[in-house]
Structure 1
Amino acid sequence: MPPAAPPAWLKIAPALFLALWSSGFVVLKVGLAYADPLTFLALRYACVVLILAPLLLALRPPLPTGVQAWTHLAMVGLLLQAGYFCFTYLSLKQGMSAGGLALITSLQPILIGLLAPAIAHERVDARRWAGLALGVTGAALVIVAKASIDVLAPLGLLFAVGALLCITGGTLYEKRFGVQVHPIASNLVQYGVGLAVTAPLAFWLEPMHIEWTGGLLGSLAYLVVGNSLVAITLLLTMIRYGEASRVSALFFLVPPCTAVIALLILREPIPPLAWPGMALAALGILLVTRKPGGAPK
């Protein structure tokens, strides 16, 4: 069980997580121009493991005790690092549009709301259901405005649904069975599992092409530190201290935030229809993340 009082820095975690996670899609777009998708993912995980392993030996943080704790950590790594990201990359490779993939995975908070009472033992009231509905509507408007939704690739659609189920399962599993472990130890286990799955898949499915350019190295560095180390740690910590349905609702803001970052960095325009979508998503988040008395969670 988590301690009664969450750490003070957790107050800024949602904003920092959104900034890192949303910008990761833009940075990933740069890196994928120079490497095959699963090869790039395996390289990313290998870099994380190479960073964390010496830190574990130097700092000697407390390790999880018991087979059950190790199993729980490995399962989260399997669902989030291996399952979600592999299915996401494979869906794009099989012809699924980015807009279609984003629309399907943005349904995650709705699934969390449906499953959380039974799995994570938390109640989703009518106000939060209204917020979830507004959030998914706003996210859909942003996605439809930004890209044509092409879900005609059957295998790509299947992989997109797999990504949705994996991130939903990982969120609920962490909330229900997550163990408190030092972040270096937990991340090393989970990314080790991700590497053990993605590297053989890359070898089997791809020519493992990589162009060692400045763009690839910059993208890789950002994804390793910003997304794989900081953002994932923030996400799992927020899930552990908060309600899964509230935390997962943050994903409604990922498409709007990504659109704004792409405008600033890649000069990708934001169509007029996307702006009301962003407003609806923000309103949905406000409803979901506030307590009945009006104070933010």
Structure 2
Amino acid sequence: MATTAPLTAGLAVRATPLLFVFIWASGFIVAKYAAGYADSLTFLLRRSAFVVVLMALLAWARWPSWRQAGHLAVTGIGLQVVYPGGVWMAVSHGMPASVVALIVNLQPVLTALVGWMAGESMGLRRGNGLILGFLRVTLVVTAKLTTSGLDLLTVTLAVAALFGITAGTLYQKRFCPEFDLRTGQVMQFTAAIVVMLPVAAATESFHVEWTPQVVGRWPGRCWG
């Protein structure tokens, strides 16, 4: 029994990154099928409220200070408003989910570029890998310029999502690198609700059809 527990824990740790990649990637695919059944910000509002309630019920840990809560709120706007809002609205306006995913996945390139501009060193191998990644995305997007749904609006939304997740990640790394996941999620998603609610009220009708596509999107995007 003493050896079984560490072995099980080790397998769980190794499986976690694979599970994360699956959940993260599935969000783009499901968004393609769910976008037609729910207003973008309306869906994100409901998702945020669900996470706030769930994490608040689980949050028996120490809550952050007011200062840290403010930093978490800023990261929440980038990671839970600008990023998913840009992705969802780009897809709902017709951009292929694969193209949105490619643009947003330029985040490592953009993050490394910001770090390099801030004085961080970049090895030759890392630099070459980032250049190849950027060229790959550029070639794919350029080849699809004639694809329906690719226009100035959708590209702007996808790029905004890219900058949102990059800025939110860098800000979090700088100002609140360590925090309790449960209380931190409450802070981030509460800030997301505060920002999204007036925008959704002004631009959407709060329409949601609870189809399997919409329900299927929840587990894929409720955790970040």
From 15, 18, 24, the counterpart of 2:18: 15
SS in 2 for 1:33: helix
* CA displacement at 1:147 relative to structure 2: 8.8
Give the aligned partner of residue 69 of structure 2: 70
Deviations 1:131-152 (A, max 9, x none): 1123334455666788955686
% same residue: 36
Give the aligned partner of residue 89 of structure 1: 88
Deviations 1:221-246 (A, max 9, x none): x23xxx322xx3xxxxxxxxxxxxxx
Give the aligned partner of residue 6 of structure 2: none
Give the aligned partner of residue 156 of structure 1: 154
* CA displacement at 1:93 relative to structure 2: 4.3
SS in 2 for 1:181: coil
Q: Does the Cα contact within 8 Å between 2:107 and 2:166 map onto a contact in 1?
A: yes
* CA displacement at 1:75 relative to structure 2: 1.1
Change in CA separation of 1:15 and 1:148 when aligned onto 2, cut-off 3 Å? farther
Q: Does the Cα contact within 8 Å between 1:110 and 1:132 map onto a contact in 2?
A: yes
Alignment of 1:38-57 (within 5 A): 38-56=41-59
Alignment of 1:180-191 (within 5 A): 180-191=178-189
Give the aligned partner of residue 203 of structure 1: 201
* CA displacement at 1:110 relative to structure 2: 1.6
Give the aligned partner of residue 222 of structure 2: 228
Change in CA separation of 1:183 and 1:26 when aligned onto 2, cut-off 3 Å? same
Give the aligned partner of residue 291 of structure 1: none
Give the aligned partner of residue 247 of structure 1: none
2:32 corresponds to 1:29? yes
Change in CA separation of 1:155 and 1:145 when aligned onto 2, cut-off 3 Å? closer
SS in 2 for 1:207: coil
Change in CA separation of 1:48 and 1:179 when aligned onto 2, cut-off 3 Å? same
Alignment of 1:89-128 (within 5 A): 89-94=88-93, 96-119=95-118, 122-128=120-126
Alignment of 1:205-220 (within 5 A): 205-220=203-218
Comparing 167-176 with 182-191, greater Cα deviation is found at 167-176
SS in 2 for 1:32: helix
- More contact order relative to length (CA 8 Å, sep ≥ 6): 2
TM-score by length of 2: 0.80
Paired AA for residue 85 in structure 1: P
Give the aligned partner of residue 263 of structure 1: none
Quote the Cα distance in structure 2 between the aligned partners of 1:219 and 1:95. Answer: 18
Quote the Cα distance in structure 2 between the aligned partners of 1:188 and 1:142. Answer: 37
Taking only aligned residues, the RMSD between alpha carbons, in angstroms, comes to 3.0
Change in CA separation of 1:15 and 1:52 when aligned onto 2, cut-off 3 Å? same
Paired AA for residue 53 in structure 2: L
Paired AA for residue 189 in structure 1: M
Quote the Cα distance in structure 1 between the aligned partners of 2:92 and 2:105. Answer: 19
Give the aligned partner of residue 61 of structure 2: 61
Q: Does the Cα contact within 8 Å between 1:99 and 1:146 map onto a contact in 2?
A: no
Paired AA for residue 20 in structure 1: I
* CA displacement at 1:185 relative to structure 2: 0.4
* CA displacement at 1:87 relative to structure 2: 2.3
Quote the Cα distance in structure 2 between the aligned partners of 1:77 and 1:89. Answer: 16
* CA displacement at 1:79 relative to structure 2: 0.9
Give the aligned partner of residue 256 of structure 1: none
Comparing 147-156 with 179-188, greater Cα deviation is found at 147-156
Change in CA separation of 1:213 and 1:94 when aligned onto 2, cut-off 3 Å? closer
Change in CA separation of 1:69 and 1:51 when aligned onto 2, cut-off 3 Å? same
2:184 corresponds to 1:170? no
Give the aligned partner of residue 136 of structure 1: 134
Paired AA for residue 26 in structure 1: I
Q: Does the Cα contact within 8 Å between 2:41 and 2:200 map onto a contact in 1?
A: yes
Change in CA separation of 1:89 and 1:219 when aligned onto 2, cut-off 3 Å? closer
Quote the Cα distance in structure 2 between the aligned partners of 1:192 and 1:183. Answer: 14
Change in CA separation of 1:106 and 1:180 when aligned onto 2, cut-off 3 Å? closer
